[in-house]
């Protein structure tokens, strides 16, 4: 296959093809800071909590569990998600945090998930778990990538895990052996092979969501705040989540717009 990419772009591409996930410094710290500031503003609006200017933003988010009851958590999370998704600048800045990497990995004509997801995982809370899964197994397109952005430093059980592709290939070859298991049983069979993500604020995780991934109860003393959103090439195949429903185009180029609107001349007259 002919490959005209520049040498640094080739290396970046090969790294992603090999690992299927990368932890990178954000392309745009200004955009990332915008996201965190809007989250904090949304917390103040949705939860009637003031961010004291004497507290650092990271301390405010890390200690969120000290300010609310667990029974309030999901309601607050939904309110915050609603507020950030009303803000079109939020979506644009989300994209800008990873623009360069997305252009290299996915392409420059992109569809973006219409709603950005937010995860708040307080210490010892078992209500916010995402059991081990692969999004493709439930109908997502294998052409998608997830941009996962932490708003605080994440590590150990405060983060998430991914099954590396080398280990996933072994499971693929004997998938019938695992397919009848519950997600709990499946996790216990693969937990020694999982890669636990260590990622700091200022970094982003891009991964192929065909790889099994998930989280566990947060056993750390801080609250985890992270966001996730899917991106794919506009013209690549869609799974159950279609363009116009779950995805919307964000970087459609002029030639594509012209081509999509072109009609052959009528020669019947």
Residue 89 lies in a domain: yes
Q: Are 176 and 168 in contact (CB under 8 A)?
A: no
What's the pTM value of the predicted model, to 2 decimals?
Answer: 0.94
Q: Which pLDDT score, from 0 to 100, does residue 54 have?
A: 61
If one counts the domains in the chain, the total is 1
Instruction: Output phi, psi for 95, to 5 deg.
Output: -60, -40
Residue 268 lies in a domain: no
Domain that holds residue 192: 10-238+245-251
Count CB neighbours of 237 within 10 A. 9
Count CB neighbours of 12 within 10 A. 18
Q: Which pLDDT score, from 0 to 100, does residue 145 have?
A: 98
Both tokens assigned to 79: 């309110």
In the DSSP assignment, the letter for residue 71 is G
Q: Which residues contact 43 (CB under 8 A, 6 or more apart)?
A: 49, 51, 64, 76, 80
Both tokens assigned to 247: 């995805």
């090439």: which residue's tokens? 233
Q: Which is nearest to 152 in space by CA: 241, 75, 76, 220?
A: 220
Helix (H, G, I), strand (E, B) or coil at 25: strand
Alpha-carbon dihedral angle through residues 100, 105, 108, 112, given to the nearest 10 degrees? -90
Residue 5 lies in a domain: no
73, exposed or middle or buried, with CB in 10 Å at 0-12, 13-18, 19+? buried
Residue 266 lies in a domain: no
Q: Which residues contact 46 (CB under 8 A, 6 or more apart)?
A: 76, 79, 80, 83
Q: Which long-range contacts (CB under 8 A, 24 or more apart) does 179-183 make?
A: 183/131, 183/132, 183/133, 183/214
Residue 228 lies in a domain: yes
Residue 79 lies in a domain: yes
Q: Which pLDDT score, from 0 to 100, does residue 90 have?
A: 98
Residue 99 lies in a domain: yes
Note down pLDDT in tens along the chain; length 269 residues: 778 888 889 999 999 999 999 999 998 999 999 999 999 999 999 888 877 766 799 999 999 999 998 889 999 999 999 999 999 899 999 999 999 999 999 999 999 999 999 999 999 988 888 889 999 988 999 999 999 999 999 999 999 999 999 999 988 888 777 766 788 888 888 989 999 999 999 999 999 999 999 999 999 999 999 999 999 999 999 999 999 999 999 999 999 999 999 999 988 76
Question: Which phi-psi region, left, alpha or beta, contains residue 106 (left: φ > 0; alpha: ψ -120 to 50)?
Answer: alpha
Residue 67 lies in a domain: yes
Both tokens assigned to 84: 């950030």
Q: Which long-range contacts (CB under 8 A, 24 or more apart) does 46-51 make?
A: 46/76, 46/79, 46/80, 46/83, 47/72, 47/76, 47/79
Residue 229, domain CATH: 2.60.120.620
């Amino acid at each position: 296959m002919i490959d005209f990419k520049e040498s640094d772009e080739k290396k970046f591409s090969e790294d992603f093809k090999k690992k299927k996930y990368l932890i990178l410094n954000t392309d745009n710290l200004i955009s990332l800071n915008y996201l965190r500031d809007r989250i904090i503003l949304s917390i103040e609006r949705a939860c009637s909590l003031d961010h004291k200017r004497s507290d650092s933003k990271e301390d405010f988010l890390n200690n969120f569990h000290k300010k609310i009851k667990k029974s309030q958590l999901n309601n607050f999370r939904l309110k915050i998600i609603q507020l950030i998704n009303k803000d079109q600048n939020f979506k644009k800045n989300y994209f800008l945090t990873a623009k360069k990497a997305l252009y290299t990995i996915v392409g420059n004509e992109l569809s973006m998930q219409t709603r950005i997801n937010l995860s708040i995982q307080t210490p010892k809370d078992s209500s916010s778990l995402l059991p081990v899964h692969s999004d493709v197994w439930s109908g997502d397109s294998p052409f998608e990538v997830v941009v996962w952005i932490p708003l605080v430093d994440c590590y150990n059980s405060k983060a998430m895990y991914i099954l590396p592709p080398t280990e996933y290939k072994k499971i693929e070859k004997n998938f019938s052996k695992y397919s009848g298991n519950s997600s709990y049983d499946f996790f216990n069979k693969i937990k020694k092979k999982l890669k636990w993500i260590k990622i700091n604020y200022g970094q982003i995780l891009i991964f192929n969501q065909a790889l099994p991934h998930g989280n566990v109860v947060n056993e750390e003393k801080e609250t985890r705040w992270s966001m996730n959103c899917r991106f794919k090439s506009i013209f690549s195949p869609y799974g159950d989540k279609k363009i116009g429903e779950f995805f919307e185009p964000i970087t459609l180029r002029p030639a594509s717009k012209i081509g999509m609107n072109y009609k052959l001349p009528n020669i019947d007259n």
